[in-house]
Structure 1
Amino acid sequence: MSLIKVMIVDDSAVVRQVVKQTLETDPSIKVLGAASDPLFAMEHMKREWPDVIVLDIEMPRMDGLTFLKKIMAERPTPVVICSSLAEKGAEASMNALAAGAVGIITKPKMGLKQFLEDASSDLLGAVKAASRANVRKIITSTASGTSSHAERIANVAKGLNIAPKLSADAVISAGGLGSGASMVKTTDKIIAIGTSTGGTQALEAVLTKLPAVCPGIVIVQHMPEKFTAMFAERLNGLCQIEVREAKHGDRVIPGRALIAPGGKHMMLTRSGAQYTVEVVDGPLVNRHRPSVDVLFRSCAKFAGRNALGIIMTGMGDDGARGLKEMVDAGADTVAEDESTCVVFGMPKEAIKLGAARTVLPLNRIPEAIVAAGRG
């Protein structure tokens, strides 16, 4: 396997050192260079072009957004934004991701040792996911009116001293109501969607096509905390349906989509004929929080055959087992077809498990949601 060649562009010497040292812990990654601004980076990239660029936004001489647009116009390359969690940084990152970047990591603010212990796997996972992304699909969708936004990339780091990969058992027990008789006492349909790398533009493509009256939707998109609220707010302005970041106890009702907040798990639950969501802390599941498996298991448990589960573009396997549990509980399920995925990872794993009753390209997923609402 060839090495993943990475260029780091950040005006902070400390960040360049931390990111470079972190990436160099993985033998599959080669850091070509670390530049203090885009002009220095472009000089280096004339000699050897990277597979992935890790890019800051606010820099002297040329800002990261201008550099990103130049790269995407001249030689499309996967770019991971290295962003501050501050509101200003989040807004700038959203603009950059709308211009074609594939993912986002949060800029290290703690000491080097603490970052290496707590966040190195996120950085490595982001770079690896970006290296496998089909950037031209992102550019095509952006040009046609969809946008890319901040997302938390799958944690796929190997050889690191990181927490074990836990299953949904760590948050919610399996079994329970399932597809039993109690599940048919309400006819309300629930749509559950899980996605990761490339999912922000895929979600926009799907949700903007839905009519104002459609089944209630619950969504897990791997994203850092503080970014999901902004992502939901933007979608809310583009869609006929209401889209918002979920809060504990929110009702799942027709015409509303709830997006799990970054850093929290979201589960569907039910009281009588009413569906609500629980937003909870908990350990990482499949090294994610929120986890698609957690959401899908809760849908299997409390919605059963009244649910439609949809797994879309993303790296890794989060959601594959949960989608299988939904099938076993009587739900209809859909996996996004490889032809439209930015990364055909999560849908592929679900298909391998026999969890997908149907495989559809992205442009046909909205009609599947509308059809589910019709029963």
Structure 2
Amino acid sequence: MTIRVLIVDDSAVVRQVLSRRLSGAPGIEVIGCAADPLFAMTQMNRQWPDVVVLDIEMPRMDGITFLKKIMAARPTPVIICSTLSQRGARATMEALAAGAASVVPKPTTGLKTFLEEDSGDIVTAVRAAAAGKASRLVPANERRPLPAAPDPPGTTSDRVVAIGTSTGGTQALEQVLTALPPVRSGIVIVQHMPEKFTAAFAERLDGMCPMSVREAGNGDPVVAGTVLVAPGGRHLQLVGDGAHFRVKVSDGPPINRHRPSVDVLFRSVAKVAGPRALGVIMTGMGDDGARGLLEMRQAGALTVAQDEATCVVHGMPKEAVRLGAVDREVPLSAIAEVIRTHA
């Protein structure tokens, strides 16, 4: 089955390069390009695409407004192609909250070279978006957080929850964390996301969740009731600090094509936390995290995978199950309760 793609971007260079790259990929057909959402609407009324690649800052109508119109009219996988800037990162978080499937970053300089040399990510994103199920997440205004735990300690924790996710994970994490009261374990997360976007993502979650959420810094203690998110473009590891834990943020080569890598986090948790840890692998393409989760299970940790029915893409949890790394498979709606019980 051919995946039909519409590209909406006010840059002629972006439209030209992305169209050439996507059209050259097997099984993908670019059915049109538009310089702004109003032109895109006309094209979509003639032929509806399977996937939309969408810029945010455009004339006549911004991408977020257009995204909301698409989701209201006919929910369709939308990939945000946004600049690697603080302003772009914040807008991208708003787009993900409005239902965008994923994000592909583009730099503010050297754009043509970047797109020509590193455009494999956009092909992967288009295929993942087309293969993914429609989101089954509960709208934010319909969620009911659990009551807050009484008097959670604000001290360093001797237990840890490690979560790894990728495609579809931004919305899935939002559902889990907004339903989770402050717990007595620290939580560390790797979400595959580009540099500059993770700080805005953590800030947005911090404003929505009962717990404190922030981008991890090197040497940060793992604190009860606090969530640390791996910075985009850097690995996150758990290190021992007596009976407690800290995190190490470091550079290094990508693992499984990712930096941060879920495997890097999970393997460090297996080594220093063992049975004092809970590992959770959630929606995502590929197999990052599966081997690390197996090491966690072998070290005595409880390991959980999001089930296929509620994943946008079941790749990462499926591979973990195949390896025998998973104690329990649960729907997305049950993950917060699993964490609360463990913590």
Are residues 327 and 145 of structure 1, via their aligned partners in 2, closer, same or farther at CA, if it must alter by over 3 Å? same
Name the CA distance, whole Å, in 2 between partners of 1:55 and 1:258. Answer: 29
Residue range with higher mean Cα deviation, 349-358 or 62-71: 62-71
Partner secondary structure for residue 310 of structure 1: strand
Residue identity in the other structure for 2:38: L
Task: Report the identity percentage.
Answer: 61
Tell me the equivalent position of 2:92: 93
> What pairs with 1:222-241 in structure 2 (closer than 5 Å)?
222-241=192-211
**What secondary structure sits across from 2:181 in the alignment?**
coil
Distance 1:209 1:38, change over 3 A: same
In structure 2, what is the equivalent of residue 144 of structure 1? 142
Q: Distance in 2 between matches of 1:317 and 1:204?
A: 22
Q: Deviations over 1:70-113 (max 9, x none)?
A: 11111110001111122222222222221111111112531534
1:143 is displaced (CA, Å) by: 6.1
Query: Which 10-residue stretch deviates more, 292-301 or 38-47?
Result: 38-47
Does the aligned pair in 1 maintain the 2:143–2:179 contact within 8 Å? Answer: no
Give the structure 1 partner of residue 37 of structure 2. Answer: 38
Structure 1 stretch 303-312 or stretch 83-92: which is displaced more?
83-92
Q: Which moved more, 1:15-24 or 1:332-341?
A: 15-24
Change in Cα spacing, 1:112 to 1:10, as seen in structure 2 (3 Å) is same
Deviation at 1:265, TM superposition (A): 0.5
Matched, 1:261 2:227: no
Unaligned runs of 5+ in 1: 147-185
Deviations along 1:5-46, one digit per CA (max 9) or x if unpaired, are 110001110111121122123112111111111122222222
Inter-partner Cα distance in structure 2 for 1:201 and 1:136: 9
Q: 1:134 to 1:211 in 2, by over 3 A?
A: same
Q: 1:111 to 1:341 in 2, by over 3 A?
A: closer
Q: Which residue of 1 aligns with 2:27?
A: 28
Partner of 2:191 in structure 1? 221
Q: Does the C-alpha gap of structure 1 residues 234 and 212 become closer, same or farther in structure 2, counting only changes over 3 Å?
A: same
Distance in 2 between residues matched to 1:63 and 1:296, nearest whole Å? 39
Report the number of matched residues: 331
Whether the aligned pair in 1 keeps the contact of 2:93 and 2:204 (CA below 8 Å) is no
TM-score normalised according to structure 2 size: 0.92
RMSD: 1.8
Q: Partner residue of 2:274?
A: 304
Q: Offset of 1:191 from its aligned partner?
A: 0.5
Residue type of the partner of 1:124? V
Q: 1:364 aligns with which of 321, 334, 340?
A: 334
Partners of 2:96 and 2:44 in 1: CA distance: 21
Report the CA distance between 1:322 and its aligned residue.
0.8
**Residue in 1 that maps onto 2:148:** none
Paired residue for 1:115? 115
Deviation at residue 274 of structure 1 after TM alignment: 2.3
Following superposition, the deviation at residue 285 of structure 1 comes to: 0.8
| Deviation of 1:145 (Å) | 5.2
Give the equivalent residue in structure 2 for 1:81: 80
Change (3 A) 1:87 1:142: same
Q: Counterparts in 2 of 1:1-375, with a 5 A limit?
A: 2-108=1-107, 109-117=109-117, 119-138=118-137, 140-141=138-139, 144=142, 188-373=158-343
CA gap 1:187/1:244 in 2 versus in 1, 3 angstroms: closer
Once superposed, which parts of structure 1, at least 4 consecutive aligned residues long, lie more than 6 Å away? Answer: none
Structure 2 residue runs of 5 or longer lacking an equivalent are 145-155
Mapped to 2, the partners of 1:40 and 1:207 lie a distance apart of 38
User: Any conservation in 2 of the 1:141–1:201 contact (CA below 8 Å)?
Assistant: no
How far off its partner does 1:114 sit? 4.2
